[in-house]
Chain A
Amino acid sequence: MRLAKERKGQFIIIAAMLLSIMIVSVSTVIYGTVTYYRQERWEEYVTIVDSIKTASCNLLQIGLANYTQTLNPNVSRDYFNRWIRDVRNAYPGYGVDVNYDLASGIRSAYGIVPPMNYSLGLARKWNLQTSYVASNATVNINIASVGLTGYNFSSNVFLKMSIRGVEWHIGTGNWYVLMYVSVEREGLDPIISLQASNFAPVKLGGVPQNFTMKRYYSSTYKCFIYEIKVTSIVSLPSSANITLVDNRGIRTISYTENVQQL
């Protein structure tokens, strides 16, 4: 009878022990989770692969920028040939071997119609209302010292400029032209960091013009628009021609004869 009564009193100790077990168990799981990464050995080759991958993407960009400035169709191939030799020298002793495959032929991407026609990794369509340049390559990395073979990735660089509209406005003693331009890069991400200096020259009827520029989101075109304004235009321009060099040094040229009078 007495023993039966006193068994009730051990509840607090049992509860405390259960609580302690729970604390220790939960803490062990949490500790294992937050320190899991420490058990994974950080191999040096991961940084090498990542470094080569980033640099190869940058190389494609540099090649495209050079191509749009010089129109040398072999530039990407030349750069990659030099690159695979220089990478071996940059990481001596690792057995780094880089191969590449430049895009060739017709490929559909970014909703461009007709599809882009690549040659030696480069594609270009200029002097249209929507103009673009693109570069595409597949790079293969092998690192013999760690047994890494066949690491492939594809990289592409793209710049597209569209003249959405050109309007010639007539006012009382105030004639001006407004041009609405949108600019996109790979992934069809809008480029919103351009300055007026990126758009020089702007030509109307083949004549370079001084202009002012502002950027805003247009609900009409449903995208970010660069509005280029040229004042003192006393007659309807026959055409509009805009050259863009983005902050990466990549150039594209758009052209339209579709000028509206308002």
Chain B
Amino acid sequence: MEDLIAKSIRAKNRRSVKGQMRVVESIMAILIVISAVTFLYYFASAPSSQARDASELEKIGHNILHDIDEQGLLARYVYRSEWGNMTSALAVSLPINVYFSLSVYDMNNNPVNYPFLMQYGDEQVFSSSAAVASVTYIVPGYQTNYNPRILVLKLVNG
């Protein structure tokens, strides 16, 4: 009888130890998966969309001017001196935290939009930004007239 009881206790202890091992294994498995996910979070996180370097700003600036041109609006804004509309079109097209200053010149490098300032963002943003890009875009004319204008768009990260 005593033998039977002793056997039963030993078997119970073995099962208990086995059960504890399962818990330990589960904890270790969870730790492994968590460490893998943590590794990915720190070392393979996607680049932040807010941080843009100069070449990326250049791409953005060129694409926006090209899109406005494709819609047939760029030449109209430039040759009808719709500087307010031009500023608004750029401001709504650019991503948040990207500021710009646009100047329009004729072929003799005389500013055409003077004294209207096509700018979005204060002076502080322009002077403190680490990434600055400049895009030159040329518009040959409007309707029937050849009269090129050179657009110089400066972009900064806020």
Chain A interface residues toward B at CB < 8 A: 6, 9-10, 12-13, 15-17, 19-21, 23-24, 27-28, 31, 34-35, 38, 41-42, 44, 47-48, 50-52, 54-56, 58-59, 62-63, 65-66, 69-70, 78-79, 82-83, 86-87, 89-91, 247-249
Contacts and interface: CB of A to CB of B under 8 A. Distances in A.
A-side interface mostly: helix
A9 B135 contact: no
Contacts of A62: 140-146
Interface of B: 18, 21-22, 25-26, 28-30, 32-33, 35-37, 39-40, 44, 46-47, 55-56, 58-59, 62, 66, 69-70, 72, 75, 107, 135-146, 148, 150
Nearest to A11: B25
B49 to A, nearest CB: 12
Contacts, number: 120
Contacts of A12: 22, 25-26, 28-29
Top 9 closest pairs, chain A to chain B, by CB: A16-B29, A20-B36, A66-B144, A249-B143, A42-B55, A47-B62, A59-B140, A16-B32, A65-B144
Given A62-B143, A79-B146, A35 B138 contact: no
A55 B40 contact: no
A47 B139 contact: no
B43 to A, nearest CB: 9
